[in-house]
Amino acid sequence: MRILHINLERGWRGGERQTLYLMKGLRDIGYENHLLARKNDLFVQRALKCGFSVKSINKPFLLHGPFLRHFDIIQLHEVRGLQLAAFWKFFHGRPLVLTRRVDNMPSHHAFTRFIYKQADRLIAISRKIRSVMVDWGFDPALITVIHSAISLENKAEPAKVQELKKRFSGRKVVGCIASLEGRKDHTTLLDAAALVNKQRNDVVFVLIGDGVLRVKLEAQAKELGLDNVVFEGYQDDPYSYYPIFGVFLMTSKAEGLGSAILDAFFYRVPVVATAAGGIPELVVNEQTGLLAPVKNPQKVAQDLLRMLDNPDLRRRCTTQAYSLVERDFNVPLMAKAYDHVYRKLTRPYQ
């Protein structure tokens, strides 16, 4: 079966990583995968390096609609691709599968409703997203929850790990890997860091990622007098940071699922997170991590200190979290779930 994956996002983030994970998983079970993407060096080069056929396009994207008729399934990974595929569906007639990765509700505009109506199936990466889309009005019978996954083959680079350990020697590292944008709510993270800083001076917060809010967040850190916060920027190899983290922290106020948490689980890093979006489907309080209310820096700081200072809690949470991610959030399992959706959709064509 020939699958066309459409992802027209800029840059390289979690959604693009999940797109490649799915393509690899489907290839392993016999699918022929092709990618339609905007001219985007990071994403396109990674896909080409993995051996996939890639068609790079620029705006206006709608001009490339005729290309879609060559495939059995059109797998959409974001809304721009849905707009393209929905507009041309009358001509190509292929089933559209949309993966929804964010937990905000779409617009109720007539055009938005039209394009979503063209999707034959919607994949929600969390139960929270499914609930949001049902409330919006999408047919619940056409929604399948398939969680994101991580590759168990991702490895930290030993030399890089040793370099980082030497750099942060003598301090407990709290790490966060997330783009610097509003929904990730680094403001709460910095406020929590200030509270931690008042109680101990051996904790450093290492923030990996870049984004439109970097200058504003750096100014906030300076205003709070935080010399225990390091803005590392975008890192092509984030995996080498996990082994140095004493705690992984995510303070999002909106989150589809939180795949960086899955990486922390895999590397056996204790997790403290906020109860945003789909995060509680991963972080079960006192079992796979500690869960604080959204926008509550006092509780975040309290949970951080508790996790740093309680070896039994750390051991219990990391053991259960690793078992969870190994069993339920691997790429082969995700690919099989998509395979089941595709086969049900294409039976009329076989």
Q: What is the pLDDT of residue 306?
A: 98
Question: The whole model's pTM is what?
Answer: 0.94
Q: What is the pLDDT of residue 348?
A: 54
Percentages helix, strand, coil for the chain (3-state, rounded to 5) are 50, 20, 30
- SS3 assignment, position 306: helix
Return phi, psi of residue 39, to 5°. -65, 105
Q: Compute how many other C-beta atoms are within 10 angstroms of the C-beta atom of residue 48.
A: 13
Q: What is the pLDDT of residue 90?
A: 87
| CA–CA separation, 114 and 128 (whole Å) | 23
Instruction: Kindly provide the residue ranges of all beta strands, DSSP E only, lying in the chain, ordered along the sequence.
Output: 2-7, 32-38, 53-57, 73-76, 96-100, 121-124, 143-145, 172-177, 203-208, 229-233, 247-250, 271-274, 290-292
Return phi, psi of residue 138, to 5°. -75, 140
Domains of the chain as residue ranges with CATH: 2-149+330-349 (3.40.50.2000), 158-328 (3.40.50.2000)
- SS3 assignment, position 105: coil
Q: What angle do CA 290, 295, 298 make, to 5 degrees?
A: 65
pLDDT in tens, the chain (350 residues): 999 999 999 888 899 999 999 999 999 999 999 999 998 778 999 999 999 999 999 889 999 989 999 999 999 999 999 999 999 998 888 999 999 999 999 999 999 999 999 999 999 999 999 999 999 999 999 999 999 999 888 789 999 999 999 999 999 999 999 999 999 999 999 999 999 999 999 999 999 999 999 999 999 999 999 999 999 999 988 999 999 999 999 999 999 999 999 999 999 999 999 999 999 999 999 999 999 999 999 999 999 999 999 999 999 999 999 999 999 999 999 999 999 999 999 875 44
Q: What is the pLDDT of residue 350?
A: 46
